[in-house]
Structure 1
Amino acid sequence: MDEDVVLRRRGYIMGVSLGEGSYAKVKSAYSERLKINVAIKIIDRKKVPNDFLEKFLPQELRILTILNHGSVIKTYEIFETIQGKIYIVMELGAQGDLLEFIKTRGALQEDDARKKFHQLSSAIKYCHDLDIVHRDLKCENLLLDKDFNIKLSDFGFSKCCSRDNNGRVTLSKTFCGSAAYAAPEVLQGIPYQPKVYDIWSLGVILYIMVCGSMPYDDSNIKRMLRFQKEHRVNFPHCKHLTRECKDLIYRILQPDVDQRLHIDQILRHCWLQPKMQDLSSAATSEGECSQRAEPSWMPKPGYDKKSTTKLEPQKETPPKEQSETNLEEHTMQVAKQLDVLGISTQ
């Protein structure tokens, strides 16, 4: 049965296409019951890989029924037809996604970035407190409502964390998401802490918010990994960012997973405290801020200032179970996956 007919019978008037991902397409519609415009994600069981169908899709549907947070896209209804198409009716991001917003308007002023990043961090804390990890945080998955507030979306690669007998979250071996937002331990194929992976992606997003470009050039995965592992973070001088903002980004983009900030530490950081907005950037006594004598984000000798790159939509890498392997072998595997998607790694 035609999708328009299916939706019309359920009280939805189909609108324009909003986009298409690896395994789904999204269309706008008007809900006669809710009296609002909505977004409808349509997944055809016949057109998705078995591993996604058996593992990722059930996780996504389960998680969508759990989530209820002001900065997470609401799910109004989920239904499936006998033809095997799944329809997920969701809140509409009326102002589009954050990537297009920044590409159109440029980098955000720190006050605006602070507000939006606090909304995003609050959403991630909510998820992590429920032992839910996103694993595909990127600007394209951050929608903006009519008032330009952040709405976290697309839980296609999310999962509910399991715990061992000691109550610790078990490590994950699945590489998924977008390489430009992926933490170095994930790109290396090392079993990783999924919540800590989300944190790294938050750092990339905050950098993009205030700088208007990517922190690392992912056209060469091997070189990008080297810069990440050496903890190189280059900030454009023309942006005139405050010390506190740079400090937060630097401490989130920490290659050592044991030193990378946790979500509670991010929310307590001095840059995110409202009372810091009107204070001098030299005042760092409130909240959690680094007390290093010298700016720890300064480029190291020989640093390539072209390591950053312009903003482009990031294609999802098909999820794949990874066993622990050496860096050279794994970067070749990642490169092959990205080549399939048409993303150059040279």
Structure 2
Amino acid sequence: MCEGSSCGPGQLCDGERCFSSVTVNRDTRIFTRGCLTGLEKSRRTCSTSPSDSYVIECCSHHMCNSNATADTLQPLLLTASNGRIKCMCEGSLCGPGKLCEGERCFSSVTVSRDTDILSRGCLTGLEKSRRICSTLPSDSYAIECCSHHLCNSNITADTLQPLLLTAADGHIKCICEGSSCGLGQLCDGERCFSSVTVNGDARVFTRGCLKGLEKSRMTCSTPPSVNYAIECCSHHMCNSNATADTLQPLLLTVPEREPVRHKAEALVVFVIGPFVVLALFSLLAVLVCRRLHQGRLERLHELDAEQGTIDGLIASNVGDNTLAELLDHSCTSGSGSGLPFLVQRTVARQISLVECVGKGRYGEVWRGQWQGENVAVKIFSSRDEKSWFRETEIYNTVLLRHENILGFIASDMTSRNSSTQLWLITHYHENGSLYDYLQRVAVETVDGLHMAASVASGLVHLHTEIFGTEGKPAIAHRDLKSKNILVKKDLRCCIADLGLAVTHSQSDNQLDVGNNPKVGTKRYMAPEVLDESIQTDCFDAYKRVDIWAFGLVLWEIARRTFRIVEEYKPPFYDLVPNDPSFDDMRKVVCMEQQRPFIPNRWFSDPTLSALVKLMRECWYQNPSARLTALRIKKTLDKIYSSLEKGKADC
């Protein structure tokens, strides 16, 4: 029950313990009831000794303070000022009578070999009472104290049972002390530990919990050294009595020895020997790498020789056809979203690189030309071979081609300048990425809506599974951001960079996450990715990650519309550094639950106000509450219709 100034509209509250208290202020009694949260706070508050102006009584079961009143607490004030109280006495220390006298009454339960042993009695001396009553509960012992006549008379072992600590999922409670501990002094884990580290003349003492059986085993099996020792145990609060002094004998002591004197020849061998061995290994590694590379080039040349006549036939068939004609033919033949594989190799080898238009961690993007037409050539660095392979695999999915997905032309592993290069050839869009475009240009509101709707349309196509013998699996992008969206000539957008994509097919319920260990861009990561709570075996979870990122892209577009133009800034520009770490983003997005800043003046424009509502429905902390891509697309179409209707009315 909750009663007093700190209580809300309801009369109930939740906590570890219930309390009732009375305060006397100038002959006025102020009665309060409520909850205590936190074991340390509960212990400290409930152990407060009564006085002639204040007394508190605590209990530990549901609604246990419901019958307490100022009148029932009044005797505690009187006895606190007039002398001792009588208590029920039960146990080995009790005399023939069942009553005893003291400052406080106590009831305790001790678990010994599955048997609960109940003790009741009196505590004399305020300091002793305070110390005993503040003893923390464990899995084998708990104590509860009270401060009025016969207040422990109704206490049984069953009423004290809930105070005993129980291990959830096999965990035990341990004392926690050190830099990694939170505000509380307890933690949960499989084992408790105490360790001491000697740093110069200083000893650093640490206590806490170990989680994970393998981690516990490895940590606890660490042998002691001159400056470090650890001791582990496996029952509740078992490290509560450990101190740096009790661990001191575990540290190894090193007896002083006579310094070993080596001859000059031996010292030369010791110093130069490792360098000689390292040089030999390095030479061997270079020879092996050169041999492997030479073999790779020879295989490529053999493939070229084998397919020479085929390439000639294909080249003659390609003839003067444009890329659009070739791609139209490939789509009707059902060969995926690009050209047939042999045609891909032929086209790739007829491309000339003109200029480098972008660089990044993945490699470089060049503008190239094939039979007078511009194409984009993404050249992957050798360490990103898995991204190249995954993107090639996704782009060759049947029925992937869509006006809002970057048009794929070809993929090839080619040898140039005595090195192997990984090429991905796509349509070329001279406006570049949405990120670059928004930095250069402020857009009309209508164009901004078209940009957002086209991205949503591309996302709908990716997320949707198409059934049939030549169907398309559902695809989640996993790295959606303004740098991975390209702006076409008509200011519509298309989604690019599918190197981290995940696919799912309902027919066999197979989730294919590829073989790429990379994760997405930290600035655009959803809360469940940052706090690692995402259901990695659930495809819908990956789609919801895309929706979060789309909301951030929508925010970037909205900032640059003509109605209320803001300077271009990336999401969370005012909350994290330019290159935020995983921890930076987790603190802002998960712990503080912050979202990109939205100025009040946006709400003066009905279109921007509607976009703000849409963004916020993409940014719910609970992933399942976010909108679907299809719902976003329909909402954007509705906002556009409202804008056009408003213009017509004017």
Common fold by TM > 0.5: yes
Of 413, 432, 437, the match for 1:96: 432
Task: Note if contact 2:526-2:548 (Cα within 8 Å) is conserved in structure 1.
Answer: yes
Residue 401 of structure 2 aligns to a residue whose secondary structure is coil
Residues 320-339 of structure 1: pairs in structure 2 closer than 5 A = none
1:14 to 327, 349, 353: 353
171 and 227 in structure 1: CA distance in 2 versus 1, 3 angstrom threshold: farther
Distance 2:369 2:592 in 1: 45
Residue pairs, 1:15-54, within 5 angstroms: 15-32=354-371, 35-44=372-381, 47-48=382-383, 53-54=385-386
Contact 2:348 2:411 in 1 (8 A): no
Aligned alpha-carbon RMSD (Å): 3.2
SS of corresponding position for 2:403: coil
Structure 1 residue corresponding to 2:454, chosen from 111, 116, 119:
119
Counterpart residue number, 1:143:
486
In structure 2, which of residues 534, 546, 550 is the aligned counterpart of residue 202 of structure 1? Answer: 550
2:604 is equivalent to residue 236 of structure 1: no
Q: How does 1:1-346 map to 2 (within 5 A)?
A: 10-32=349-371, 35-44=372-381, 47-48=382-383, 53-54=385-386, 56-66=387-397, 67-81=400-414, 83-106=419-442, 108-129=443-464, 130-161=473-504, 167=509, 176-192=519-535, 193-211=541-559, 212-216=568-572, 217-219=575-577, 220-226=584-590, 229=593, 232=595, 234-239=597-602, 240-242=604-606, 243-269=609-635, 272-279=638-645
Structure (1 or 2) with the larger CA radius of gyration: 2
Q: Matches of 1:227 and 1:234 in 2, distance apart?
A: 17
Offset, 1:58: 2.9
Paired residue type of 1:198: D
Equivalent residues of 1:135, 1:198 under 8 A apart: yes
TM-score normalised per structure 1: 0.68
By relative contact order (CA 8 Å, sep 6+), the higher-ranking structure is 1
Tell me the residue number matched to 2:128: none
Call closer, same or farther: CA 1:41–1:168 in 2, change over 3 Å.
closer
- AA aligned opposite 1:69: H
Q: CA deviation at 1:146?
A: 2.4
Following TM superposition, by how much is the alpha carbon of 1:86 offset from its aligned partner in structure 2, in angstroms? 1.8
Once residues 627 and 517 of structure 2 are traced to their aligned partners in structure 1, the CA distance between those partners, rounded to angstroms, is: 22
Counterpart for residue 196 of structure 2:
none
Structure 2 counterpart SS, 1:126? helix
Asked if 1 retains the 8 angstrom alpha-carbon contact of 2:348 and 2:425, the reply is no
Distance in 2 between residues matched to 1:27 and 1:148, nearest whole Å: 21
Q: Which has the higher strand share?
A: 2
TM-score (norm. length: structure 2): 0.38
Percent identity of paired positions between Structure 1 and Structure 2: 20
1:58 alignment partner AA: F
> Residues 236 and 141 of structure 1: is their aligned pair in 2 closer, same or farther, counting only changes over 3 Å?
same
Per-residue deviation, residues 97-134 of structure 1 (Å, max 9, x unmatched): 1112111224x443222111111111011011131111
- Size of the alignment, in residue pairs? 266
2-side partners of 1:256 and 1:241: how far apart?
Answer: 28
Write the distance in 1 (CA, Å) between the matches of 2:592 and 2:513: 21
Aligned partners of 1:164 and 1:170 also within 8 Å: no
Deviation at 1:272, TM superposition (A): 4.3
Hey, what's the Cα distance between the residues in 2 that align with 1:31 and 1:170? 34
C-alpha distance after superposition, 1:42-83 (max 9, x if no partner): 124xx31xxx545x4432111112220001111111121255
1:224–1:12 distance in 2 versus 1, CA, 3 Å: same
Letter in 2 for 1:41: K
Alignment gaps of 5+ in structure 2? 1-296, 298-344, 465-472, 536-540, 560-567, 578-583
| Structure 2 counterpart SS, 1:14 | strand
